[in-house]
Structure 1
Amino acid sequence: METSVWTPDSWRRLPIAQQPDWDDPSELDAVEKELGSYAPLVYPSEIRELQSQLAKAAKGQAFVLQAGDCAESFNDFSADVVRNKLRVILQMAVVLTYSSGVPVIKVGRIAGQFAKPRSSPMEKINGQLLPVFRGHIVNDDEASIDARRPDPKRLLRAYHQSSATLNLLRSLTRGGFSDLSRVHTWNQEFVASSAEGQAYDAVATEIERALKFMAACGIDLEREETLRKVDFWTSHEALLLGYESAMTRYDRTSKTYLDLSSHTIWIGERTRELNHAHMEFFSGISNPIGCKIGPSATPKEVIEICEKLNPMRIPGRLSLVSRMGSEKVQSVLPKLISAVQQANHPVIWSCDPMHGNTFVSENGFKTRNLEQVIDEVRGFFLVHRSLGTWPGGLHVELTGEDVTECLGGSATVNEEDLDTAYNTICDPRLNARQSLDLAYRVAEMLIGD
């Protein structure tokens, strides 16, 4: 059977899920053409460097921490929000690296994480039936017919906010903010007095002592770039393929196509149908990519995904992100890992312990319990340990702000606390305290591995 030639637009001939009902296709087409004339958001050399680092994770020599917002907001965007998010991810990475001795690849759900898949195209709010909120790149979260109308111009706003975010991230990670000698300054006021904040402070003190020892031995820390700067990569779920294909360029160096909207992107659980549009688009770009795998996946489906997305078996090219739920991970995941292992596919197995553990509290808030999140990660590690495979990463939704959206943690958030600072525009996120709590627990699992 003859196979059609892949192009950045070849996905358009196939069925596609989770797309907005745009009112004016000609307006959408004009916006996508305008996006196609814009400068890339990331550089091919950065993508190639990330690919080389992820290859180490595929071989069990590194761990991937992928974390950030459920959905970025147009309304809650500032330098402080970006800085606080970066800070908590760096804090988690320091804990994981220092405690386990394993290099941590830091990837943010940031600078492009605007679109969200939804379980229904409509939702009822205060008795009114409205088009569902699909993320600020599509429509507004305000509960009105006009606000929920998909607006193609929002794609342009998402691009510009992503560009501003990337500029700030590059400044922070290259300009001294991430300098290991300043680890104490990463403490936030609301963390410093907590149990996990004090534990982090102890780690920071040990790192500073080690740095002083290096300086006393004659090592010029000011000239050690690896101590002063950090690699930080961006990612998002590539849901709106018109946006993604508009940002795709041919790279003459590698002679491949790269999606330059982000360093790495992933396919969600709801859009991973093998012969549908998202699989087609992802199969032709050379970015490192991910695919979410839920509890309904079969070994046959997972092998077909691997063959479609990484037929050359390139280490680090493909991450499979399990999102099973704490009650199912140990019964479902082993057969999937075994099948992939037997087929000799060098994937990175990562754990998303958030989406399979979401529920609605008695007082009506969509939430997650940190202990269930940790239970799923523990089950993920136990499965890998029993099979002799590498638990390659953690994929979580979090914020650097002091929100009350998930239950539990050292500074306990109870159901009656949820409405105190429930600020998410979509799914509940761990706050900074809960994120550090999770990092210490995962570090213990890595040490045990």
Structure 2
Amino acid sequence: MTTWSKSSWRNMPRIQMPDYPDQAALKAVEEQLSRYPLLVFAGEARRLRDHLAAAGRGEAFLLQGGDCAESFEQFSSDMIRDTFKVMLQMAVVLTYGAKVPVIKVGRMAGQFAKPRSANTETVDGVELPSYRGDIINDLAFTPEARIPNPDNMMRAYTQAAATLNLLRAFSTGGYADVRKVHGWTLGFTDGEKAAKYRDLAARISDTLDFMNAAGVSPETSHTLQSVEFYTSHESLLLEYEEALCRQEAETGKWLAGSGHMIWIGDRTRQPDGAHVEFASGVQNPIGLKCGPTMEADDLKKLMAKLNPENEEGRLTLIARFGAGSVGDHLPRLIKAVQEEGANVVWTCDAMHGNTIKSSSGYKTRPFESVLREVREFFSVHAAEGTVPGGVHFEMTGQDVTECTGGVRAVSDEDLSDRYHTACDPRLNASQSLELAFLVAEELTARREAAAIKAAV
């Protein structure tokens, strides 16, 4: 058995990673990054793992969301604030529906690299290497822009540090006051098309009023005016990950210092591959994307490698099958987990299996398909007697038009209005909040059904 080190992944098969033409420049950047401060700390990662352990037991619920791929060009404090804001709104609604704490994890401060289905793309007869995210190369369709540039890692680090700094300020500086957050949500339900969510919003208002009358308010309770907010990203560019991987002096354990939680994508989850090797040795909570091609035997191997001690909260399985296909795949993977007696958190990525090409030529995701997959996810877990631990969305707080449907009824013809994503289509603020209301209804129904079953 190979002894793990933060660079042992270099001896394993690697895919979805760039070949840097200037190796000397790459080495210089890696050495520089290895001297920079970590972006997150071990105690934070352990605290998130404890929260995720509760989600695996049904005592908490995971809300994970944010950009498909973070952009250097579009980076701004407003964008961070708006995504943070809508995630807080979603969390309040979900907390009311689930009656358990909601763990807030952003796809932020590190989501710069993207796997691609092909190594090249062709435009007007010209073939160039694919764009793989700003941390690797540039979106502009020129030969020069598509050359992997190691200096982009330094820019990604700087942007991630600035993002985390602002998120921490928002989390503890009063912006997360629960009354303020709910006030924003009431603005959403004021619209005629969102009137069907007004009753749930009113019930949340009544609850907050009762708590205030009982003496529990943001002025008397720190937990009502601040939140814990964590970051996550796909651990794809391993040179960057290794450079920010450090050993904790107190415990001797290794930490991926690039984010609180890292995940392995559906394309890079080979049990003997480089990405699984790197993730297996760090103490961070690990996510594992599980698509339709995931075989039960491979899942068992991956669980054994990524969580050999079967720790609660260590491994989150992110199911992504597509609407209409959850019932074909999730039950067999649940069975594999049960056969191993494995502790996992099950969460639903209802985005990646529902990407289509619209009649107007834009890549999009229908809101109705996203909602259908979430409902199928809950239905399967109800049938299997297992815990649906969370949801995972690509979303933004901006008023984009990238996914069709929702109360604003974005159509194929509307997509060109504000289609800003560099990679995959994201839910906008309205669609994200509407989805939270609908997921809250699912959580409430599940909770009430469990109560009835327990009483019989």
Contact 2:13 2:274 survives alignment (8 Å)? yes
Structure 2 SS opposite 1:271: coil
Contact 1:196 1:433 survives alignment (8 Å)? no
TM-score by length of 2: 0.94
Name the CA shift for 1:302/1:215 in 2 (closer, same or farther; >3 Å). same
Contact 2:61 2:98 survives alignment (8 Å)? no
1:271 aligns with 2:249: no
Q: Which residue of 2 aligns with 1:155?
A: 153
Structure 2 SS opposite 1:425: coil
Structure 2 SS opposite 1:321: strand
Q: Distance in 2 between matches of 1:136 and 1:290?
A: 22
Q: Distance in 1 between matches of 2:19 and 2:160?
A: 24
Structure 2 SS opposite 1:419: coil
Q: Which residue of 1 aligns with 2:47?
A: 49
Contact 2:68 2:425 survives alignment (8 Å)? yes
1:124 aligns with 2:118: no
Name the CA shift for 1:238/1:188 in 2 (closer, same or farther; >3 Å). farther
Q: Distance in 2 between matches of 1:216 and 1:386?
A: 41
Following TM superposition, by how much is the alpha carbon of 1:186 offset from its aligned partner in structure 2, in angstroms?
Answer: 3.3
Name the CA shift for 1:31/1:198 in 2 (closer, same or farther; >3 Å). farther
Following TM superposition, by how much is the alpha carbon of 1:128 offset from its aligned partner in structure 2, in angstroms?
Answer: 1.6
Q: Distance in 2 between matches of 1:327 and 1:216?
A: 46
Contact 2:190 2:198 survives alignment (8 Å)? no
Unpaired runs of at least 5, structure 1? none
Paired residue type of 1:168:
L
Identify which of 83, 86, 99 aligns with 1:88: 86
Q: Which residue of 2 aligns with 1:380?
A: 377
Q: Which residue of 1 aligns with 2:61?
A: 63
Q: Which residue of 2 aligns with 1:351?
A: 348
Identify which of 413, 416, 429 aligns with 2:426: 429
1:4 aligns with 2:2: yes
1:239-274 Cα distance to aligned partner (Å, 9 max, x none): 001100111111123321010110000000010011
Q: Which residue of 2 aligns with 1:250?
A: 247
Identify which of 407, 422, 425 aligns with 1:410: 407
Name the CA shift for 1:416/1:215 in 2 (closer, same or farther; >3 Å). closer
Q: Distance in 2 between matches of 1:448 and 1:385?
A: 11
Following TM superposition, by how much is the alpha carbon of 1:223 offset from its aligned partner in structure 2, in angstroms?
Answer: 3.3
Paired residue type of 1:310:
N
Aligned-pair identity (%): 50
Paired residue type of 2:273:
H
In the TM superposition, what are the counterparts of 1:362-381 in structure 2 within 5 Å? 362-381=359-378
Contact 1:235 1:263 survives alignment (8 Å)? yes
Name the CA shift for 1:195/1:289 in 2 (closer, same or farther; >3 Å). farther
Following TM superposition, by how much is the alpha carbon of 1:43 offset from its aligned partner in structure 2, in angstroms?
Answer: 1.4
Structure 1 SS opposite 2:20: coil
Contact 1:247 1:259 survives alignment (8 Å)? yes
Contact 1:399 1:432 survives alignment (8 Å)? yes
Q: Distance in 1 between matches of 2:222 and 2:173?
A: 11
Name the CA shift for 1:328/1:200 in 2 (closer, same or farther; >3 Å). closer
Q: Distance in 2 between matches of 1:273 and 1:49?
A: 28
Contact 1:22 1:152 survives alignment (8 Å)? yes
Q: Distance in 2 between matches of 1:366 and 1:185?
A: 34
Contact 2:217 2:224 survives alignment (8 Å)? no
1:260-292 Cα distance to aligned partner (Å, 9 max, x none): 110000000010011011111011001000010
Paired residue type of 1:106:
K
RMSD of Structure 2 on Structure 1 (CA): 1.7
1:240 aligns with 2:237: yes
Q: Which residue of 1 aligns with 2:22?
A: 24
Q: Which residue of 2 aligns with 1:287?
A: 284
Paired residue type of 1:424:
T
Q: Which residue of 2 aligns with 1:75?
A: 73
Following TM superposition, by how much is the alpha carbon of 1:202 offset from its aligned partner in structure 2, in angstroms?
Answer: 5.9
1:328 aligns with 2:330: no
Q: Distance in 1 between matches of 2:31 and 2:47?
A: 29
Following TM superposition, by how much is the alpha carbon of 1:131 offset from its aligned partner in structure 2, in angstroms?
Answer: 1.1
1:37 aligns with 2:35: yes
Following TM superposition, by how much is the alpha carbon of 1:26 offset from its aligned partner in structure 2, in angstroms?
Answer: 1.4
Structure 2 SS opposite 1:376: helix
* Count of residue pairs brought into register by the alignment: 446
Structure 1 SS opposite 2:404: coil
Paired residue type of 1:20:
P
Following TM superposition, by how much is the alpha carbon of 1:438 offset from its aligned partner in structure 2, in angstroms?
Answer: 1.1
Contact 2:261 2:285 survives alignment (8 Å)? yes
Unpaired runs of at least 5, structure 2? 447-456
Following TM superposition, by how much is the alpha carbon of 1:376 offset from its aligned partner in structure 2, in angstroms?
Answer: 0.9
Q: Which residue of 1 aligns with 2:111?
A: 113
Name the CA shift for 1:103/1:143 in 2 (closer, same or farther; >3 Å). same
In the TM superposition, what are the counterparts of 1:112-191 in structure 2 within 5 Å? 112-187=110-185, 191=188
Following TM superposition, by how much is the alpha carbon of 1:218 offset from its aligned partner in structure 2, in angstroms?
Answer: 3.8
Q: Distance in 2 between matches of 1:353 and 1:218?
A: 40
TM-score by length of 1: 0.96
Q: Distance in 2 between matches of 1:229 and 1:199?
A: 29
Paired residue type of 2:168:
R
Q: Distance in 1 between matches of 2:67 and 2:233?
A: 10
Structure 2 SS opposite 1:320: strand
Contact 2:85 2:181 survives alignment (8 Å)? no
Structure 2 SS opposite 1:34: helix
Contact 1:184 1:201 survives alignment (8 Å)? no
Contact 2:89 2:182 survives alignment (8 Å)? no
Q: Distance in 1 between matches of 2:166 and 2:346?
A: 30
Following TM superposition, by how much is the alpha carbon of 1:210 offset from its aligned partner in structure 2, in angstroms?
Answer: 3.5
In the TM superposition, what are the counterparts of 1:291-302 in structure 2 within 5 Å? 291-302=288-299
Paired residue type of 1:299:
A
Q: Distance in 1 between matches of 2:21 and 2:8?
A: 23
Paired residue type of 1:115:
A
1:384-440 Cα distance to aligned partner (Å, 9 max, x none): 111100011101100111111011111101111110111101000000111111111
1:261 aligns with 2:258: yes
